[in-house]
Chains A and B, each alone.
Chain A
Amino acid sequence: MENSVKFLTETVLRISGVDPRKCMKCGKCSGTCPNYDAMEYHPHQFVSMVEKGQIEKLMNSDSIYLCLGCMACVERCPRNVAPGKLVGAVAQLKLRQQDMNRKGGNDVAAFADEIVPQQLLMAAMRKYRK
């Protein structure tokens, strides 16, 4: 798979549908992000780093797995940028690289116990592996 900055940036922009140029750098997304402290790169940084083409840095950060997918930043962004969609798109791009599964099917299955809801396992399957 191609890995040029251009390819990665274009792919992220295409599959996320996000236009980072709309961002006015207000920081609302990072002000509202419930999991801010756990993330190495924060939602507003995803926007500016994608714009600058620093996708690989983001791909190699655990931040992409720490987004809760709650869309608070998407809903509240005053510029209709939707930073959360960028996080999701970068995570997706990472999965598409060879051998870049976060967890294998068996790892996810190991989480199964008497209480964990099926949909959480299903979600993990979707989020952590190709």
Chain B
Amino acid sequence: MIYSYYPGCTLKDRAKQMDIYARKCADVLGIALKELPEWQCCGAVYPAASDEIAPRLSAVRALMNTEEGKLVTMCSACHHVLKRTNFDWNRDENFRQKANNYMKPETPYDGSVEVIHFLELLRDEIGFDALKEKVVNPLTGRKIGAFYGCLLLRPGKVLAFDDPENPSIIEDFIRALGAEPVRYPYRNECCGAYVALENKACAEMQVERALNSAVAAGCEELITACPLCMYNLVENATAHKLPVSYFTELLAEALGVKEG
């Protein structure tokens, strides 16, 4: 299977591992991730105002350049921005018109691309049962908490990724790799990264709550799909500290392709 792939800015640098491991795993799973040519940053935040057209244009370009029908994202934020922009494109005539006027594309984007997160690909296209079969190095005995954060889940109706109040996709993923998923109440709350630069204390407070919740429930390590969560959970941890890794790293470990 060939999928178009949108790595996003951070996966080329600070979150390199997430990208590297994803590619290795894709090889094992028989998936071709075809990186979009000349992609640009997705914009990092979905604009707060519906009349902001320009901040969504690079996302539209990514969608327009997708040839495979499905565009795979790895980073929570890219997933969020691309999916919401795609949603807008198919529902907001005004946005579509203005974007087209601005970009003047030869053939305007027809709205047909489906944006999926790599986790959705694992769940819906490969299936966690099939994934389990491919595990050569089961992570038996490890108690792992999923940190969903906010961007992956909300707004639930637009992203349609999982139940925003009671998600299970990452837990099912952890279980497929042979480890024990640990559910804890703050797994779907915000890590506070967006204010980390402006107000470190606020970010620290969110991280403290999340880690406290995870530790109390018995998590020994956390995984995430978001470079912001990763940064924040590690850099702004105060009282509690837990090892945090990207979900692709865990996957690579279980599939036996982490090293080399």
Q: Does A120 have its Cβ within 8 Å of any Cβ on chain B? A: yes
Q: How large is the interface on A (under 10, 10 to 19, 20 to 34, 35 or more residues)?
A: 35 or more
Question: Which among A15, A69, A115, A116 is the interface contact of B194 at CB below 8 angstroms?
Answer: A69
B225-247 interface with A by 8 A CB criterion: 227-228, 230-231, 235
- Given A15-B50, A16-B50, A117-B227, are A66 and B199 neighbors across the interface (CB < 8 Å)? yes
Interface flags, B156-184, vs A, CB<8A=1, else 0: 10000000110000000000000000000
Interface flags, B181-223, vs A, CB<8A=1, else 0: 0000000011011111111011001100100000000000000
Please measure, in the bound complex, the distance between the C-alpha atom of A124 and the C-alpha atom of B50, giving whole angstroms. Answer: 19
Please measure, in the bound complex, the distance between the C-alpha atom of A15 and the C-alpha atom of B94, giving whole angstroms. Answer: 13
Interface of B is mostly: loop
When the two chains form their complex, are residues A89 and B49 in contact, meaning their CB atoms are under 8 A apart?
yes
When the two chains form their complex, are residues B231 and A122 in contact, meaning their CB atoms are under 8 A apart?
no
Please indicate the chain B residues that have their CB under 8 angstroms from the CB of A116 in the complex: 14, 197, 231
When the two chains form their complex, are residues B228 and A120 in contact, meaning their CB atoms are under 8 A apart?
yes
Taking the closest CB of chain A, its distance from the CB of B227, in whole angstroms, is: 4
When the two chains form their complex, are residues B10 and A118 in contact, meaning their CB atoms are under 8 A apart?
yes
Please indicate the chain A residues that have their CB under 8 angstroms from the CB of B47 in the complex: 92, 126
Number of A-B contacts (CB under 8 A): 132
Interface flags, B49-90, vs A, CB<8A=1, else 0: 111100100000000000000000001010000000000000
Interface flags, A93-130, vs B, CB<8A=1, else 0: 00000000010000010010001111111111011100
Interface of A is mostly: helix
Chain B positions within 8 Å of A, measured between CB atoms, are 8-10, 13-15, 41, 43-45, 47-52, 55, 75, 77, 149-150, 153-156, 164-165, 189-190, 192-199, 201-202, 205-206, 209, 227-228, 230-231, 235
Interchain residue pairs with CB less than 8 A apart (16): A17-B50, A34-B209, A65-B198, A68-B202, A68-B206, A69-B48, A75-B154, A88-B48, A116-B14, A117-B14, A119-B10, A122-B41, A123-B45, A127-B45, A127-B194, A128-B198
Other than A66-B202, A126-B55, give 20 A-B pairs with Cβ distance below 8 A.
A16-B49, A34-B192, A65-B195, A65-B198, A66-B195, A68-B192, A68-B206, A69-B48, A69-B150, A71-B155, A91-B48, A115-B14, A117-B10, A117-B15, A118-B10, A120-B194, A123-B194, A124-B198, A126-B47, A127-B194
